Amino acid sequence: MSGIENAVQDAAKKLLAENKVDVVIGFAQGSQPLRSTPAFIRKPEEAEKLTWNCTCENNLANYLRKKEQKIGVVVKGCDSRSILALMKENQINRDNLYIIGVPCSGMIDRKQVADLCEGKEIIAAECTDDALVLKGHDFEKTVNIVDVLHRSCAACTHKNPVIYDEMVAEAVTEQKEDFADIEAFEAKSTAERRAYLSQELSKCIRCYACRNACPMCYCEQCFVDCSTPEWVGKSASDIQDNMLFQAVRVFHGAGRCTDCGACERACPMGIDLRILTRKLVKDAKELFDAEAGVKMEDKPALSTFESDDPQPFLVKE
């Protein structure tokens, strides 16, 4: 892991020293155990602040839209897919971007780690290549990283960046797409699905962290904020409106969502959001063989029309 960290720092230092970019966006050590934080590095000597470990969870593509500066960015597989998807939507000018690609073995899920520690406060944590050493006031624990990977990382099919200017390490092995989780949920009865989703969405506090953490959510005015007309009620206690909010948010990402998991990670209330976003990832794949942010030449799934597009939604006649 420290090999990658050094390589990232060297790459950033070089870019800044040679004035190829104005800023490098990467990760720095956060203020709490198990946290790293997005960092904006502007001087070559500050490049040593950059870090790389299993807590670099944020999707940095979120900071790249409509920027005038020349930016160097440290990306994982998922971030690179978001960048590619945003380039297709003319949100990112590739000429102003230098992509430092990092093959990613997955980021941890802080919520799962908290569960393993029974909610007790972790006061120190150390990341090694494949394990976490956690210390609390009255406990010490070693956890295998693979056991606490975020679900989006455990299911990831593009660990290696799909677009980059330089890659700082050897590629890692990719795995096959597996939608078993979504298939299992589809197999449940309507009542069961309703019950589960209304239980999950009852936790929503409408902080919109899911929306703001998503690199693909960039409408100038979001439908939830709009008051004339008011498309959806603003009350967090109305579970039905919370569901409507999610339905529209998720559907807006249909064929565009790269399943990076940023929405779910950002949710302070721990709502299972990927059960919704992944459904559309699966549908886009099955219906149109479309995968967002993988190839520049692929046409956007819902912005194109072919005469032989599947039409399972039509009324049977």
Partner 1 sequence: MIITKQDIPNFLDSLKNNYQVFAPVKQDNYTMFKAITSGSDAILDYSNSKIPPKGILFPQTEELFSYKVDKQGAHLEEKIDSEQKVIFGIRPCDAKSIALLDNVFNNDKYEDPYYLTRRENTVLVGIGCNQPQSTCFCTSVEGGPFDTTNLDLLLVDIGDKYVVEVLTDKGKKVLTSAACSDASEADKQAAAKTKESATVVSKVNLDGLKQKLDSNFYDEIWDSISEKCIGCAACTYSCPTCHCFDIVDEAKDCDGCRVRNWDSCMFPEFTIHGSGHNPRPSGKERFRNRVMHKFKYFIDVNNATACVGCGRCIQNCPVNLDIREVLADIQGSEARSVS
Partner 2 sequence: MLKSLLEYMGVDEGRVNFSWVSASEGGRFAELVGEVTEKVKQLGPNEGLIDKKAGCCGCQE
Which residues contact partner 2 by CB under 8 A? 185-186, 190-191, 193-195, 197-198, 233, 235-241, 243-244, 247, 250-251, 254-255, 276, 279-280, 283-284, 287, 302, 312-315, 317
Binding flag, residue 49, partner 1 (CB under 8 A)? no
CA distance 221 to 68: 21
27 membership: H or E segment, kind and range: strand 23-29
- Residue from 128, 142, 144, 235 in contact with partner 1 (CB under 8 A): 235
Q: Binding string, 134-163, against partner 1, x = CB under 8 A?
A: ---x--------------------------
| 35 exposure class (CB count in 10 Å sphere: 0-12, 13-18, 19+) | middle
* DSSP string computed for 158-226: --S-SS-SEE-SPPPPP-----HHHHHHHTS-HHHHHHHHHHHHTT-----HHHHH-TT---SS-TTT-
Q: Which C-beta is closer to partner 2: that of 110 or that of 256? A: 256
CA distance 78 to 261: 9
CA distance 28 to 41: 10
Of 14-22, 161-169, 186-194, 202-210, which part binds partner 1 (CB under 8 A)?
202-210
Rounded to the nearest whole angstrom, what is the least distance from the CB of residue 97 to partner 1 in the complex? 17
- Residue from 19, 90, 221, 307 in contact with partner 1 (CB under 8 A): 221
Judged by CB under 8 A, how many residues of this single chain contact partner 1?
44
Of 24-32, 99-107, 141-149, 188-196, which part binds partner 1 (CB under 8 A)?
24-32
CA distance 81 to 64: 13
Rounded to the nearest whole angstrom, what is the least distance from the CB of residue 104 to partner 1 in the complex? 18
Among residues 214, 210, 232, the alpha carbon closest in space to that of 223 is found at 232
Binding flag, residue 270, partner 1 (CB under 8 A)? yes
